[in-house]
Structure 1
Amino acid sequence: MKKSGLGPALRELRESSGLEAKAVARSAVMSRSKLSKIENGKTAPSVTDVDCILTAIGVSDEVKGEYMAAVGEATTEVTAWRLVRRLGYSRKQEQVKALESQTTLLRLFQHSLVPGLLQTPEYVRAVFAGKGLTEAQLERTVGVRLARQSILYSEEKAFRFIITESVLRWRIVPPLVMAGQLDRLISVSRLPGVDIGIVGLSAAQTEFPGHSFSIKDERTVTVEMIHAETVMTDPRDIALYVAKFERFSGVAVSGDDMRTLIAAIRDELFREQETV
């Protein structure tokens, strides 16, 4: 399938499924007019657009792979954060939620923040507080991000998080609030489908963080940079990120050792407050 014929092909796929355009647009977290422009070939769909549309239609993995290969001809797609702000952070969170619902294995490396799926309400609010949102927009964004976390309890999915120790010490919230966030990590780490690894500051390193990234199955890699979000679909690029993730995993502590490390940092925060 050529990328130029992707829109009409998506329309045929939707029509053969018996789903109305408005239902697919709603599930794909886009306007009805945007879906129409994509289906009529007037707007080139992004990797995320196609993934969300196929998820909304409910196609098989084989069909999804064919369509994603077509949209991934360019292999790398960059979306500036200013466009995300225009879309709305809460809408972006809905979009991410839709993609996560169709991901069997999510691998995420973070060296700057606690991953969104693991954040407490207070931490989420702190992350978005400086983005110029109104109180109503902030509440919607916080609510949607927290709603995403229900997927952690799915028995059909697996989540692997690698976090650097510096994330646990980064003071974007007050000490007692951060202590609550660390307790949240300990609690979530006991879920059957969740594996959390911590790369300690004292661990000997041959790797360098560079930037945070997430890998959805073997389908896409998403990298968050200062100015934009980059999505890659080339299998060669995905393999590089998988290998980097595994190298970090090899020096990370997990299980009881990980929980002991987090608890020690949490207790440091408590002691700090006692001396204030």
Structure 2
Amino acid sequence: MSAGGLGRLAVEALGVRLRDLRRDAGLTGRQLASACSWPPSKVTKIEYGRQTPSESDVRDWCIACGFPSEISDLIAALRTVDAQMVDWRRSLRSGTKLRQQAAVDAYEKTTLFRIWEPAVVPGLAQTPDYARGILRTVVDFHGVPDDVEDGVRARIDAQRVLTHGDRRFLLLLGQAALYTFVTDAGVMRDQLQRLLEVSRMPRVTLGVVPLAAPYTVPRNNAFTLYDNRFVTVATYTAELTLNQHHEIATYASAFDRLLHLAERGEGARSLIEAALNDLEEI
């Protein structure tokens, strides 16, 4: 799903919450519109996500429905509709380095990482050459300034969180990530060996979801849960930062299902070693 589609879903979710308040108050749409001095069509558009309300609209709605206690929470939700989407071209307009450094700031404040990557190795487990291949593709795809070497150094520097501080890491990747060919066979061989090393690190749980695992949860987008504070979701056009309780709970539930499907420990290492053996045949 595109970032625009996800943004529309956020507006629709806000409309549903406002509609529930109106119904709890026993008001029709026309009655609410009259109380707020709005045309009746405005209530319908807001409730069905076809119009984003202003903060003033939210206040008037809650007061008219007799729920002033809901104002602060709903305004916070409204503000995240725009703030949660950061266009990649805007995020990367000065190159990749600053984006990597921003990730470090989030890493330093987190004690439990839950990371899902369906198609590539997670950044925290990447080798420099693999990271270079990933970031070069990012630069090429988005047409942003080429500071790949600075970005690689920042990404590798961020990996110090794996060995410093009292943190736990649950890293899940799809089996396809073991075969996504980044750069060349030599780079892939080193990367898979690095994954084996990471799988044996203290406080790290590495899991691989097999291609043949049953489809019990959508696996499309990569995402990272930072404690229970927020979740970031990657799309082609943007990175979303979601911090509403129900959003975090949804992604936590998805992660739990993926974790249930994953091979861990020796099972995960067997899948990695199988990918290494397949490389030898190339």
- TM (normalized to structure 1)? 0.70
2:75 & 2:189 partners in 1: Cα distance?
46
Alignment-derived partner of residue 219 in structure 2: 209
Kindly tell me the number of residue pairs found equivalent between the two proteins. Answer: 204
1:264 aligns with 2:269: no
* CA shift for structure 1 position 121: 0.7
2:93 counterpart (82, 86, 108): 86
Aligned residues of 2:128 and 2:152 also touching (Cα < 8 A) = yes
Distance 1:261 1:218, change over 3 A: same
- Which residue is 2:79 aligned to? 74
Amino acid at match of 2:109: Q
* Deviation string, structure 1 residues 31-79 (Cα, Å, up to 9, x no partner): xxxxxxxxxxxxxxxxxxxxxxxxxxxxxxxxxxxxxx99666344101
Contact 2:118 2:222 (8 Å CA) reproduced: yes
Whether 2:115 is the aligned partner of 1:108: answer yes
Does residue 254 (structure 1) correspond to residue 258 (structure 2)? The answer is no
> 1:210 offset after TM fit, Å?
2.1
Q: Which amino acid aligns with 2:121?
A: V
Is it true that 1:151 corresponds to 2:156 in the alignment? no
Match of 2:148 in 1: 138
3-state SS of paired residue (2:233):
strand
C-alpha root-mean-square deviation of aligned residues, in Å?
2.0
Q: Does 1:121 align with 2:131?
A: no
Instruction: Give the conservation status (yes or no) of the 8 Å contact 2:94–2:145.
Output: no
Q: CA deviation at 1:268?
A: 1.2
Distance 1:156 1:70, change over 3 A: farther
- Indicate the residue corresponding to 1:171 in structure 2: 181
- Residue 129 of structure 1: SS of its match in structure 2? helix
One-letter amino acid of the structure 2 residue matched with residue 74 of structure 1: R
Given the alignment of the two structures, is residue 95 of structure 1 paired with residue 105 of structure 2, yes or no? no
Contact 1:176 / 1:270 at 8 angstroms: preserved in 2? no
Q: Measure how far apart 1:96 and its partner are.
A: 0.6
CA deviation profile, 1:123-151 (whole Å, cap 9, x unmatched): 1110111314666x111111000000111
| Amino acid of the structure 2 residue aligned with 1:270 | E
- 1:17-28 matches, cutoff 5 A: none
Tell me: CA distance 1:206–1:158, structure 2 relative to 1, closer, same or farther (3 Å): same
| TM-score normalised by the chain length of structure 2 | 0.68
Cα drift, residue 154 of structure 1:
2.4
- CA distance in 2 between partners of 1:134 and 1:74 (Å): 30
Which segments of 5 or more consecutive residues in structure 2 lack a partner in the other structure?
1-73
Query: 2-side partners of 1:191 and 1:175: how far apart?
Result: 25
Q: CA shift at 1:257, angstroms?
A: 1.2
Which entry has the higher C-alpha Rg, 1 or 2?
2
